[in-house]
Each structure stands twice: as structure tokens, then as C-alpha cells.
Amino acid sequence: MGLLPDQLFNLTLPEFTDMVSAKLYFKSLDGDTEMQRTAWQTSLLMSATGNYGKKGVDPKKLYKPQFDEMGQPIKSADTHGAFTPIDKEEKDKKLNELMAKFNNR
């Protein structure tokens, strides 16, 4: 975060956690913007080849944005948002699915 030691030690715990969560939010937002740009560029390249029909490829088919135009996380019914926590049972279920998938190979 670029804080000097005396600045860091003068922060209260709520101020520090707010700074960390804001840093993570903007890092996630920048990553999402970069992925949208990459999907747009890739769709242009794929469409230019002519192998994907006259309409080409839509960038939203290559990458589903996690944030809207105003920078707010997009809530979706079928998937978790960018900052939606999951409960322990769901985490254990997904972990067991991954372990079963990769242990069978």
C-alpha cells in the first residue's frame, strides 16, 4: 500500500482493514477491466479470421464481466459475485469435487 512505518503504526485497525479492502476492490476492478479489454481484442481477431460467421464473436461470450459500468459488482443468481463469501459446506463440497476430479486422472 506504500505506507511508511510511522503512517502504518498510526492507523487504527478499522482504518487499516478499510484500506486493504479498498486496495483489493480496485485491484479486482482493474483486473476485470483488463480481461474485458482482452476479450474485446480476442473477439476482433477471431472475427477477422472469418471462421465464426458474418456476425463474428461477441466479447461477452468470451468473458463475463464481474463489474458494471459504474464499478459495482454484478450480482448473479447462478454464480457468486466478485466479493460474495461462501459457506463452509459449499467450500468443502467444491473442494471434494476438485479432489475427485483430479485424483481420478
The torsion region of residue 51 among left (phi > 0), alpha (psi -120 to 50) and beta comes to: alpha
Q: C-alpha cell of 91?
A: 467450500
Cβ proximity of 65 and 74 under 8 Å: yes
CA distance 17 to 53: 49
Percent of the chain with pLDDT over 70: 90
pLDDT of 77 higher than 80: no
Helices H, strands E: what count in the chain? 4, 0
Full residue range of the structural domain in which residue 95 is found: 5-103
pLDDT in tens, 43-74: 999 988 878 878 888 888 898 888 888 888 88
Note the pLDDT of residue 65: 86
Into how many domains does the chain fold? Answer: 1
pLDDT digits (tens, 9 = 90+) for 78-90: 655 556 678 899 9
Q: Is the pLDDT of residue 40 over 90?
A: yes
